[in-house]
Amino acid sequence: MTTEITGPEIIEVGEGDQLRPIAIRHRPATRNSREPALLWLSGYRSDMMGSKAVAADQLAEKLGIACIRFDYSGHGESGGAFVHGTISRWLAEAMAVIDHVRPEELIVIGSSMGGWIGLRLAQELKRRAKSSDGTAPALKGMVLIAPAPDFTSELIEPQLTDEQKRSLAERGFFDEPSEYSPEPNIFTRALIEDGRDNRVLKGIIETGCPVHILQGMRDPDVPFSHALRLLDHLPADDTVLTLIRDGDHRLSRPQDLERMVAAISELAGVSRYP
C-alpha cells in the first residue's frame, strides 16, 4: 500500500524579483538510507504528479529508498510565471532542491525536457565536485525517457514558420496547439536564446554513470533519431538505448511504466523489487 506524502514542502529560489516558491515532495528512505535517492525531473509543462513521477515514487517506497520530486517554477504546485522559464532557470531550481535535501547519491530520472536538464545537471554536479568545497552528490545512474536535449535549437528553431519568427521578434513568444492540454504550448524568445547556451549535443557528455534511454519509435514530438544522436554523445560504456516500436512521447502505458521501473531498479542494484 502506497503511503501518501501530505502536501509539498516549499523552498524559495532566487532573489528580488526573481524569487519564486518551489514545491518539493520528498520521500525519505525508510530501510535503505545508504542507497541512492531517486530524483525526478519532469518534462516541459509536466509536473511531479504525473503517472511516471508517481510510479518512480511508488518504487522508492517499495525499495525503502528516498525519492525527490519537485515542480519547476511555473509548473504544478510551484509559483512563478511559466513564461519566465528557461533551461538555466529550471536547472538552478533543480540544483537548489538538491542543496536543500542534500542526498549523498542520486539516480536521476528525466522525462523529455527533464532529460536535457538531467544531462546539464550531471555536468554541473561534476563541475561542483571539482570545485574547492567539493559538495556534490555522486551521480549513480540516469534513466532518460524520450529525452529532448537541445530541443529548442534542434527541434524547434529549424521548423519555425515565418509567422512564428515574426511573433518571436514582435511579441517575444509564439504559441501552438498542444496534443496534451487544452492550453497552447508557449515558447518564448528567452527560452530559445537560453537553450543555445545550454546545448549538450556538441561533444562527449561525461555523465560519470550508467545511462539507460527509453525511446518510443512513434514519438511525434521527439523522433527516435534524436535519441540515436544523443547516443553518439554519450560514452560507449554503460549506455543502453531501448527503442519501443509502438511507443509514443509520453511512454505512460502500463508496459512503459514497467520498463521504466525495471531500468531504475537495475541502476539501483535491484533485479527484483518487492
Residue 110 lies in a domain: yes
Residue 187 is assigned to a structural domain of this protein:
no
pTM of this structure? 0.94
Domain assignment present for residue 133? The answer is: yes
- What pLDDT is attached to residue 146? 98
- CATH number, position 241: 3.40.50.1820
Residue range(s) defining the domain that contains residue 116: 9-149+207-267
Give mean pLDDT in consecutive 10-residue pieces for the chain, a chain of 274 residues.
73 96 97 90 97 98 96 97 97 98 97 98 93 83 98 97 97 90 90 98 95 97 97 90 97 98 92 48
Residue 9's alpha-carbon distances to 77, 78, 96, 129, in angstroms, are 10, 10, 13, 27
Tally Cβ neighbours within 10 Å of residue 24.
21
- The answer to the question of residue 177 being in a domain is no
In a domain, 23, yes or no: yes
Bridging pattern class, strands 9-13 and 67-70: unpaired
Q: How far apart are CA 154 and CA 52, in angstroms?
A: 25
Residue 4 lies in a domain: no
Distance CA 88, CA 100 (A): 18
User: How high is the pLDDT of residue 236?
Assistant: 76
Q: Is residue 182 part of a domain?
A: no
Q: Can you tell me the distance from the alpha carbon of 250 to that of 9, in angstroms, rounded to the nearest whole number?
A: 27
pLDDT the model gives residue 31? 87
Give me the pLDDT at residue 177, please. Answer: 86
Please name the residue that has the C-alpha cell 510510479.
Answer: 55
The answer to whether residue 162 is domain-embedded is: no
**How many structural domains is the chain composed of?**
1
